[in-house]
């Protein structure tokens, strides 16, 4: 085996380390949910999202993309963004409800279907780099997990690390957690287009204005202080905006006809 081949194998392995980190976080999140440590379980899923965000980018940067890496990434997402959130929401909110187990299972199952659909589209060359078909599993997990973690912090001590406005809406939103879980599952298997944010449509660099800079600065400060609430708001809006745009387009196309 020559040195060049060894070097190439080493480079190809680097993105997989991020994927393994993703899987590790998902596995230990499930264990934490079983043990009732819901804050830690949610935190691990958030860390898994960071690993997931970097593995593909690192692979493209190092020109180390492979079909093995794609399959590993999907399996990691199944654990961290489908199974782990399903266990978390089951133990924190749905365990003592009549349909808690089936609802949690539906979230995990539809997440698996979403990942299989993504792989089929990618392998057939029909996938888009600008849009996802259906709500991505990390986004669905972000909404569900951040809601669970926010409620857990609120339930432990209402004055804890919870955004002041969240103290008003969290109890009301959490009362409909069963519907939210099913709704997120349905959005994952839908054909609604969601922005991928992988690149600008024109390929040009985005201009950073003062207003954008200030908005990002405020968002970062709030995220540092109230991470779970900001994640819930950002990804909740992402899920809702995609749904609303799809509904408006459908409504307009019916009236045009």
> Is CATH 3.40.50.150 the right assignment for the domain spanning 3-256?
no
In angstroms, what CA-CA distances link 163 with 38, 50, 150? 18, 22, 9
Tell me: pLDDT of 73 over 80. Answer: yes
The per-residue pLDDT for range 149-185, each reduced to its tens digit, is 888 877 766 545 667 777 777 778 888 999 999 999 9
What pLDDT score does 108 carry? 97
Domain residues of the chain, as ranges? 3-256
The per-residue pLDDT for range 80-105, each reduced to its tens digit, is 999 999 999 999 999 988 899 999 99
The SS3 call for residue 74 is helix
- Give me the mean pLDDT over the 129-140 stretch: 89
Separate counts of helices (H) and strands (E) for the chain: 10, 2
Measured CA to CA, the distance from residue 78 to residue 134 in angstroms comes to 16
Q: Across the strands, what pairs with 133?
A: 193
Look up tokens 């959130």; give the residue: 85
Q: Which residue, among 30, 76, 88, 36, has the nearest Cα to 52 in the 3D structure?
A: 76
The per-residue pLDDT for range 201-248, each reduced to its tens digit, is 444 455 556 676 777 777 777 777 778 888 888 899 999 999 999 888
């Amino acid at each position: 085996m020559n040195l060049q081949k060894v070097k190439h194998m080493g480079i190809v392995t680097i993105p997989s380390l991020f994927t393994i980190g993703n899987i590790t976080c998902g596995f230990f999140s499930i264990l934490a949910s079983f043990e009732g440590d819901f804050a830690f379980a949610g935190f691990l899923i958030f860390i898994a999202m960071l690993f997931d965000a970097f593995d593909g980018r690192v692979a493209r940067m190092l020109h180390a993309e492979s079909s093995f890496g794609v399959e590993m990434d999907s399996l990691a997402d199944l654990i961290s963004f489908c199974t782990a959130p399903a266990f978390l929401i089951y133990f924190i909110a749905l365990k003592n409800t009549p349909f808690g187990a089936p609802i949690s299972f539906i979230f995990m199952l539809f997440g698996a279907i979403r990942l299989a659909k993504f792989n089929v589209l990618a392998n057939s060359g029909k996938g888009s780099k600008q849009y996802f078909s259906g709500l991505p599993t990390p986004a669905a997990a972000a909404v569900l997990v951040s809601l669970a973690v926010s409620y857990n912090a609120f339930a432990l001590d209402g004055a804890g690390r919870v955004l002041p406005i969240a103290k008003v809406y969290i109890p009301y939103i959490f009362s409909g957690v069963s519907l939210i879980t099913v709704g997120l599952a349905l959005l994952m298997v839908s054909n609604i287009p969601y922005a991928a944010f992988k690149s600008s449509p024109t390929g040009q660099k985005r201009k950073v204005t003062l207003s954008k800079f200030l908005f990002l600065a405020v968002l970062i400060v709030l995220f540092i202080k109230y991470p779970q609430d900001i994640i819930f708001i950002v990804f909740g809006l992402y899920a809702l905006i995609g749904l609303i745009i799809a509904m408006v387009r459908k409504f307009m196309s019916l009236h045009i006809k």
